[in-house]
Amino acid sequence: MSTVTSRRTQDSQPRSAPTEVDPAVASLSVGLGGVAGRFARLGGSWWTPLRIALAVCTITFALGVLQKAPCMANGWDRQDWRPFKALCYSDIGYLYQERGFAEGNRPFLDTGNYPVLEYPVLTGGFMEVAAKITWQITGDPKKDLTPEQKRDTAGVFFVVNVVLLFLCTLLLVGLTVGTARGVASRPGAARGQPLDALYVAAAPVLAFTSTINWDLFAVVLTAGAMYAWSRGKPIWFGILLGLGTAAKFYPFLLLGPLLIVCLRGRKLWPWFQATVAAIFAWGVVNAPIYLLAKNEWMSFWVFNDERESDYGSIWYVLKLAKHEVTDVNQLNIVVFAGLCLSIAILGMMAPRPPRFAQLAFLVVAAFLLVNKVYSPQYVLWLLPLVALARPRLRDWLIWQACESFYWMMVWLHLAQFLAPGQPEAPDKIYWFAVILRMAGTLWLMLVVSRDILLPEKDPVRQGDLVDDPSDGVVSDLPPRQLDPAHA
């Protein structure tokens, strides 16, 4: 009975049109009929926010697959520079041939004349599932294959991964719709805008980077954790976050922002439940591989510890500029710890409890700012967090433009198209692209920080200073209206 009442309460609340809450959207609507009027019918159509977002993300993902067509047609050959020239590079086809999958081997448990897989356990499992589907299509991989046949099989593997990653994309968008909507079951609670998920579904970077690597798998697990938290399920939040951490390290960072949210809400028990569940889920997934193949399990951690400053990072730009940092690992940890401390102080000193998505975005963005490598697909980590933390078209367009420019320049840099004619001359266009990418992220961090300090500026609260539509655990107090003195 309570569930039915909750849904009726949520459904009875009016939903604002995007043109009413976002000035940039309103200005762009002039050629499409203008802003929604007082008598506009905003509900009752078959095209619900979820269906609209899924349709848009299908188009976006399809355009991304078409953008990879030159590499698919040309095969996955390391000796060919076409992937960089055509901007269609993907790790998927190459690693199938270079990490033992082409010979029918399992990640971590089987070894051979090839490098050990340098990915977390659950991502290795995702790759193995895709490989087994590929083997069902192409036949026994144990038989001797020529390099050309292996490249053909790698093409099938790429297509299989495209299908699996597309399913991840649909799930990601659906979870973002549900998280943005919020529960809205408390009297006067703020209701989210499910169409904010379009900031994920229509993102150019989703098309450009979704099939470069397997990051979408970790992103969708993290989005599932955010959805579970919005539904008041801290244990499920922890389980999904632990699984996400078993696929990529970054989801673990969200436990820090969650602690700040729970401290401000004076509810530490949900954080404790989530943390224990996350550690348990991560341990269950990792323990078998650790016990059976400890050295292979360690390859991910050793690789990241020994890795020097690499593409996309400010440390790499400094190295190219002949100002290389000697111990980038130590400096990276110190700077990131300082940024996390600043974010924690911001969250604790803010006039009103900040929203979980805001702090989560700030921490992950800070990690990407100072990390010693920034692969183009890392932008996917931020995509759902931006949609929940700062769903405003102007800021989203600025950020997407910076990321898209960097995505283009990194491939041209690898193809050596940007290098000046003089020998040993610096590739300053690429330096600019890295700095511009960082500037776009910094811009979002600044406006989100301003929203935390000035809650009346927060586009999600819309004047609602306590309730968080995507928090179903801590924000259970009635919303407080804006003090006219601070308006």
pLDDT above 90 (res 17): no
Note whether residue 45 is domain-resident.
Answer: no
Q: Which has more pLDDT, 206 or 193?
A: 206
Q: Are 141 and 103 in contact (CB under 8 A)?
A: yes
Note whether residue 42 is domain-resident.
Answer: no
pLDDT at position 487: 34
Helix boundaries (H) for 213-293: 215-230, 234-247, 255-264, 268-292
Give the C-alpha separation, 22 to 29, whole Å: 11
**Could you report the per-residue pLDDT of 339-365, keeping only the tens digit for each?**
999 999 999 999 999 999 999 999 999
Q: Which of 112-116, 206-210, 417-421 has the highest mean pLDDT?
A: 206-210
Domain that holds residue 353: 50-478
pLDDT above 70 (res 5): no
pLDDT at position 281: 98
Counting residues of the chain whose pLDDT is more than 90, the rounded percentage is 68
**Could you report the per-residue pLDDT of 260-294, keeping only the tens digit for each?**
999 999 999 999 999 999 999 999 999 999 999 99
Total tally of structural domains belonging to the chain: 1
pLDDT at position 409: 95
Note whether residue 39 is domain-resident.
Answer: no
pLDDT at position 35: 59
pLDDT at position 140: 81
Mean pLDDT of 296-322: 93
Least confident of 219-223, 360-364, 427-431: 427-431
pLDDT above 70 (res 486): no
Note whether residue 267 is domain-resident.
Answer: yes
pLDDT at position 475: 64
Residue 75 pLDDT level (bands cut at 50, 70, 90): confident
Annotate 289-343 with DSSP letters as a single string: HHHH-HHHHHHHHHHHHH--S-TTSHHHHHHHTT---TTHHHHHHHHHHHHHHHH
Least confident of 154-158, 284-288, 461-465: 461-465
Q: Using CA of residue 219, residue 221, residue 223, residue 229, what is the dihedral sign?
A: negative
pTM of the model: 0.88
Counting residues of the chain whose pLDDT is more than 70, the rounded percentage is 84
pLDDT at position 474: 79
Residue 480 pLDDT level (bands cut at 50, 70, 90): very low
Least confident of 4-18, 124-138, 245-259, 346-360: 4-18
pLDDT at position 34: 53
Note whether residue 37 is domain-resident.
Answer: no
Mean pLDDT of the chain: 86
Q: Which of 271, 265, 160, 176 is nearest to 222 (CA)?
A: 176
pLDDT at position 381: 98
pLDDT at position 326: 86
Note whether residue 122 is domain-resident.
Answer: yes
DSSP assigned state of 484: G
Mean pLDDT of 444-457: 95
Contacts of 159 (CB under 8 A, 6+ apart): 72
Cα atoms found within 13 Å of the Cα of residue 208, Cβ hemisphere only: 23
Note whether residue 305 is domain-resident.
Answer: yes
Note whether residue 15 is domain-resident.
Answer: no
Give the C-alpha separation, 348 to 350, whole Å: 6
Give the C-alpha separation, 54 to 31, whole Å: 25
